[in-house]
Every structure is written in structure tokens, then in C-alpha cells.
């Protein structure tokens, strides 16, 4: 397989949110994922977890943004220019979103969740349980990340 | 977009490992990811993290396994039958692997990492930094998960 070859996926569901594009980053926002009816049974047992990983497709990222290799995190010129694999930017060769969300409710084929930073209509590619094996107690992060984090902690809570 | 519509990605690199299929689950195994040369610049700054998320494509999962909706975790009949979105099974509608790995070295377009449970030649779809925002201190998990975890802790370390 070469980089010319393709990997093909199908959406297993879609994000449903009332939030505007500016609002989806608010961590307390609640939204829904509507799983396609043919995959409903794959949700059995999901309610035993408090948190899930949601893998979704950033369907509004323009094709040309997939060519970007370096960014200033958050578009801030005061932060260093880093490779897109060192940042959470949506400018990526494959714009897959990966977010840990809080699971509030499962009803039929609909999940109600908190904390998903996805636009309305985003295709969901996979849902995985969040468990203790994924927890790294003291990861090392760049200095620019610590700066952003410190600023975030000083922001008023929404 | 309906479930008939497709999402298409291109590999950004490939997993290189000497490990046999049976050995890739060993958490201390070291392997490499060779990023396609055209994406090398996207790795700048990655070395400032101790851990990364690797998203990869489970290219050896047969097409028919993508139809499985429920599994016994680890194939164990003594554990409950749960939906694939409640388990880490590779039987999933979109067989994307998601693993937190320890970054040991970056040299040119090659990452040396520990803990990736991917077969040799697996296409890599994305690499994302692991940071504190992804850490949930006390997630709720199912009883079957706690049973598996307790067994694991009693196993001899490899």
C-alpha cells in the first residue's frame, strides 16, 4: 500500500447540535449523536461507561487545509510554529476529530453527551470506551501547551 | 450525507515492527512509524511530548468483521456480550485503531515508540499529541472491565 492508496470508511452516525460554529468549543455544551439504526446494537453496554472517545470526521475542513504541515497553535503568532502532528489543529492530512466526552444518556440509537467540539452534521466514524488503560498520569507536554493551559485556567468558566 | 456516503483518507505513514501478530499486544514492545516523506514537516515539535495518540487502520480485519455488532470482550464467553462501541475489539464498522504510545525517539521521518498494538504494515491515519485535557481522573467502567483489569495485574510482567 502506498500513500496513493486510500482507506474508505462509512459514517456510523451523525452529530446533532444546536451550537453555532463559535459555540462548539465550549466544554459544557451538550449535544447528541444519532447512530444509524443499523448499528444500534453496537451501543449495548455503552451506558456502563462515564466517558467515551468519539472519532468523527471534520467534514467542513476544506480540502486545501489537508495540505497544511505546520501551524501556530490556536492561530496565535506568539506561540511557536509546530508540525500538525504536534498540535490538535483541524488542519491535518486526515481531519479526524478525537474527543473524550462525558456520556449523559443513551436512549435507543441516540447518545446524549457533553464536551464534543463537533459541528452539526459531522459524520461519526467510531465510538470507543474510555478506560483506565488510556490514562497517562504525568505526560510531558511542550512549554507552549503549559502557557495555553495556564491562560485557560484563568478564564471565567462558562 | 447518508450512511451510503463514504469518507476517504490516505495513509500518512506505516507501522514497522518485527513483532508477530501474537506479540504486538505486549505493551513493552518497541516499534517504528515511518511517516511518508511528504508529511515529515508535520512531525516538528512532536518530540516535546512523552506520549502520543496513534490512529491507524486495522488493514488485516476482514470485511465481514465490519458487520459484527456485539462481542464477548477478548472472545471470552464468561464475559457479557456487549456492543462493539462498548469494547475495544477490532470487529468494528470502521476498524480504526487508537492507542496511546510512549514516544522514545524522532529521527527524520521515523518515530520510535513503545506500546503500539499494530501489525507490521498497518497504515497510520493520524498522530495527535497526548495532553492533560484528555485525562479523566476516575472514569466509570463496566464490571467486566474491572475483572479483566484485575486479572491483568496478576499476570507476570513481560
- In sequence order, the 6+-apart residues with CB closer than 8 A to the CB of B12 are A3, A93, A94, B35, B36, B39, B42, B124, B125, B126, B127
- Would B8 be classed as within a structural domain? no
Task: Identify the pLDDT of residue A156.
Answer: 67
- Would B2 be classed as within a structural domain? no
- Would B76 be classed as within a structural domain? yes
The answer to whether residue B6 neighbours chain A at the CB level (below 8 Å) is yes
- Would B107 be classed as within a structural domain? yes
Q: Give CA torsion, residues A67, A70, A73, A75, to 10 deg.
A: -60
- Would A7 be classed as within a structural domain? no
The predicted-structure confidence for A7-59, as pLDDT tens digits, reads as follows 999 999 999 999 988 888 888 899 999 999 999 999 999 999 999 999 999 99
Please give the ipTM for the structure prediction. Answer: 0.93
The predicted-structure confidence for A89-123, as pLDDT tens digits, reads as follows 999 999 999 999 999 999 999 999 999 999 999 99
Contacts of A9 in chain B (CB under 8 A): 6-9, 94, 96
Q: What is the mean pLDDT of residues B31-38?
A: 97
The predicted-structure confidence for B61-91, as pLDDT tens digits, reads as follows 999 999 999 999 999 999 999 999 999 999 9
Nearest to A38 by CA among B4, B59, B97, B74: B4
Domains in chain B: how many in total? 1
- Would A77 be classed as within a structural domain? yes
Show the domain range for A49: 13-154
CATH number for the domain harbouring residue B66? 2.40.30.70
User: Under an 8 A CB cutoff, do A10 and B143 touch?
Assistant: no
The answer to whether residue B82 neighbours chain A at the CB level (below 8 Å) is yes
Q: What percent of chain B stands above pLDDT 90?
A: 80
Amino acid at each position: 500500500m502506498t500513500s496513493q492508496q486510500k482507506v474508505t470508511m462509512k459514517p456510523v452516525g451523525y452529530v446533532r447540535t444546536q451550537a453555532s460554529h463559535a459555540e462548539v468549543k465550549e466544554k459544557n455544551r451538550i449535544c447528541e449523536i444519532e447512530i444509524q439504526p443499523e448499528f444500534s446494537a453496537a451501543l449495548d453496554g455503552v451506558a456502563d461507561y462515564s466517558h467515551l472517545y468519539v472519532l468523527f470526521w471534520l467534514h467542513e475542513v476544506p480540502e486545501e487545509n489537508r495540505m497544511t504541515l505546520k501551524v501556530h497553535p490556536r492561530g496565535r503568532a506568539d506561540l511557536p510554529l509546530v508540525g500538525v502532528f504536534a498540535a490538535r489543529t483541524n488542519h491535518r492530512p486526515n481531519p479526524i476529530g478525537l474527543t473524550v466526552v462525558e456520556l449523559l444518556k443513551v436512549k435507543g440509537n441516540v447518545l446524549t453527551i457533553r464536551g464534543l467540539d463537533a459541528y452539526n452534521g459531522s459524520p461519526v466514524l467510531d465510538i470507543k470506551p474510555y478506560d483506565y488503560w488510556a490514562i497517562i498520569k504525568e505526560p510531558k507536554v511542550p512549554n507552549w501547551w503549559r502557557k495555553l493551559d495556564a491562560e485557560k485556567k484563568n478564564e471565567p468558566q462558562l
